Amino acid sequence: MTAGGLAIAVAGASGRMGRMLVEAVQQSGDCRLAGALDRAGSAAIGQDATAWLGHASGVQVTGDLAQGLAGAQVLIDFTRPEGTLAHLAACREKGVAMVIGTTGFNEEQKAKIASAAQDIGIVMAPNMSVGVNVALRLLDMAARALSEGYDIEIVEAHHRHKVDAPSGTALAMGETVAKALGRELKTHAIYGREGVTGERDPSTIGFATVRGGDIVGDHTVMFCGTGERIEISHKATSRVGYAQGSLRAARFLAQRGAGLYSMADVLGLDPL
């Protein structure tokens, strides 16, 4: 680790999650802000990354990748797939590790991330929250025990600005449940119902999406049986949990070499 702490750059530094990450880095005792990236044309370009907190960090928000990554050991990225892939190429070239919390990647984009992990360390997870990753373990256990006689529905809610649906976390929950049941989510998922749909196929996994207001992130998986219903929920009231999980992932990468890691690896959990 470099003098002054683990050097972290933050992508999307002026966004909601970006600001939370910048603040978490500033408040940590073992990390320092080494760079702050934002899209070209952002009103934040040229401003101090912590001006909104009422004090200066000495790090300016920039749209220049070379400048933003100079001196950084790890980039934390919660942006959009296209932006993350552009950052990925620069990080691979410069040997900067990445924590990727971006969601909505297609299979081709995921393959590019896996390829880059041959050269740099990457922690990639649809949700960096420690609580969510513990919930995934609970879902695996519940799905195995409730494999017969229970219909499975996943309900997620996020703020009005979220651009992808279902959320990456909801999909990860669905993948966890499907795998535990020996099913393929892509062939058993139902992403919407309207009109006369007929009786429910018991092998399906249903998804319902809510978008509104400033909801940070609510996820509930319902196992609906006869005479009872089991619900496993995670509700985020702020983005602090995501930021703290991201710093935990960054610290993990500082002690690892190249490779594609999950939050299970970060938390020392057995893989599902």
The pTM assigned to this predicted structure is 0.81
50-100 confidence digits (pLDDT tens): 999 999 999 999 999 999 999 999 999 999 999 999 999 999 999 999 999
Catalytic residue set? 158, 162
| The residue to which tokens 């000495």 are assigned | 58
Per-residue confidence band for 272, with pLDDT thresholds at 50, 70 and 90 = low
Amino acid at 217: G
More confident residue, 230 or 164: 230
Question: Higher confidence at residue 39 or residue 118?
Answer: 118
pLDDT for 196: 96
pLDDT number for residue 200: 96
Domains of the chain: 6-124+239-267 (3.40.50.720), 130-236 (3.30.360.10)
Q: Which whole number is the average pLDDT over 216-236?
A: 97
Mean pLDDT for 10-24 is 94
| C-beta atoms surrounding 87 within 10 Å | 24
Is-contact 50 26, C-beta < 8 A?
yes
User: Do the Cβ atoms of 74 and 97 come closer than 8 Å?
Assistant: yes
